[in-house]
Structure 1
Amino acid sequence: MRESRYNIWVDDGTQSYVYNGFSGKVAAVPTAQREPIVRFLAGDDAAPADPALLHALVDGQMIVADGFDELSLLRRRYALTRRNADRFHLTVVTSLGCNFDCPYCFEAKHPSLLDDAVQERLLRLVDVKLRTVRALSVLWYGGEPLVGLTALLGLSDELLARAAGAGASYTAAIITNGYLLTEPVARQLRGRGVTAAQVTIDGPPEVHDRRRPLAGGRGTFATLLENVTAVADLLDVSVRVNLDAENVGQAPRLLAILAANGLAGRVGVHPGHVVTPAGNTRAPSARYRAACLPRAEYAAAEQRFFDVAADLGFATPGPPGPVGAPCTAVRDNELVVGSRGELYKCTETVGDGSEVVGNLLNWPQAGDRLMKWLTYDPFADAECRACPALPVCMGGCAYHAMDGRLRDSRCSTFRFNHEEQVRRLITRRARRPAPAGS
Structure 2
Amino acid sequence: MKFSNYNICTKICNENYLYNSFTNSLIKLNNIYFEQIRQRDIKLLEKLDDSQINILKNNGIIINDEVNELNMIRSKMKKILLNREILTLTIAPTLNCNFDCYYCFEERQEGRMSNFTKENLLKNIEREIKNGVKLIKVIWYGGEPLLEIKFIEEFINSLNELKKLYNIKFGIKSSF
Which interval holds the TM-score relative to the shorter structure?
Answer: 0.5 to 0.7
The aligned residue for residue 89 of structure 1 is 88
Q: Secondary structure at the match of 1:130?
A: helix
SS of residue in 2 equivalent to 1:81: helix
Q: CA deviation at 1:168?
A: 1.2
Instruction: Give the TM-score normalised by structure 1.
Output: 0.31
Change beyond 3 A, Cα 1:149–1:114 = farther
1:67 maps to which residue? 66
Tell me which residue corresponds to 1:163.
163
Q: Take 1:53 and 1:39, find their aligned partners in 2: how far apart are those partners?
A: 14
Closer, same or farther in 2 for the Cα pair 1:122/1:20, shift >3 Å? closer
Give 1:4's aligned amino acid.
S
Kindly indicate whether the alpha-carbon contact (under 8 Å) linking 1:94 and 1:152 is maintained by their aligned counterparts in 2: yes
Following superposition, the deviation at residue 2 of structure 1 comes to 3.0
How has the CA–CA distance of structure 1 residues 18 and 147 changed in structure 2, closer, same or farther, with 3 Å as cutoff? closer
Output the amino acid matched with 2:153: L
Contact 1:27/1:60 (8 A) holds in 2: no
Q: Offset at 1:126?
A: 1.2
Which one has a larger percent strand, Structure 1 or Structure 2?
2
The answer to whether the 8 A contact 2:97-2:108 is kept is: no
Root mean square deviation, CA, Å: 3.9
- Counterpart amino acid of residue 159 in structure 2: L
1:125 aligns with 2:124: yes
Counterpart position of 1:2: 2
How far the C-alpha of 1:99 sits from its partner, in A, is 7.4
**CA distance in structure 1 between the partners assigned to 2:48 and 2:145 by the alignment:** 58
Query: Structure 2 CA distance, aligned partners of 1:21 and 1:112?
Result: 35
Q: Determine the C-alpha separation between the residues in 2 that align with 1:133 and 1:83.
A: 12
Residues 3-34 of structure 1 show CA distances to partners (whole Å, capped at 9, x for unaligned) of 334444579xxx986543433332646848x6
1:72 and 1:111 mapped to 2: Cα distance? Answer: 42
1:38-437 → structure 2 map (5 Å cutoff): 38-39=42-43, 49-96=48-95, 98=96, 100=98, 102=100, 106-107=106-107, 109-112=109-112, 114-115=114-115, 117-131=116-130, 132-142=132-142, 145-146=145-146, 148-173=148-173
Alpha-carbon distance change, 145 to 28 in structure 1, aligned in 2, over 3 angstroms? closer
Question: In the superposition, relative to structure 1, how do residues 168 and 162 fare at CA in structure 2: closer, same or farther (>3 Å)?
Answer: same
Deviations 1:361-407 (A, max 9, x none): xxxxxxxxxxxxxxxxxxxxxxxxxxxxxxxxxxxxxxxxxxxxxxx
Distance 1:27 1:74, change over 3 A: farther
The DSSP-based 3-state class of the residue aligned with 2:67 is coil
d(CA) in 2 for partners of 1:109 and 1:10? 38
Q: Distance in 2 between matches of 1:173 and 1:49?
A: 41
TM-score normalized by the length of structure 2: 0.65
Say if 1:95 and 1:114, in contact at 8 Å, map to a contact too.
Answer: no
Contact 2:126 2:162 in 1 (8 A): yes
Q: What's the offset of the Cα at 1:105?
A: 5.8
Partners of 1:147 and 1:40 lie apart in 2 by 53
**Which letter does structure 1 place at the counterpart of 2:4?**
S
Contact 1:16 1:31 in 2 (8 A): no
Contact 2:140 / 2:173 at 8 angstroms: preserved in 1? yes
Question: Structure 1 residues 62 and 95, CA, compared in 2 at 3 Å: closer, same or farther?
Answer: closer
Structure 1: any 5+ residue segments left out of the alignment? 42-46, 176-197, 199-438
**Letter in structure 1 aligned against 2:121:** L
Note if contact 1:91-1:138 (Cα within 8 Å) is conserved in structure 2: yes
- C-alpha spacing 1:125/1:9, structure 2 compared with 1 (3 Å): closer
Report sequence identity in percent. Answer: 21
Question: Structure 2 CA distance, aligned partners of 1:60 and 1:99?
Answer: 40
User: 1:72/1:144 Cα in 2 relative to 1: closer, same or farther (>3 Å)?
Assistant: closer
Amino acid in structure 1 at the alignment position of 2:92: V
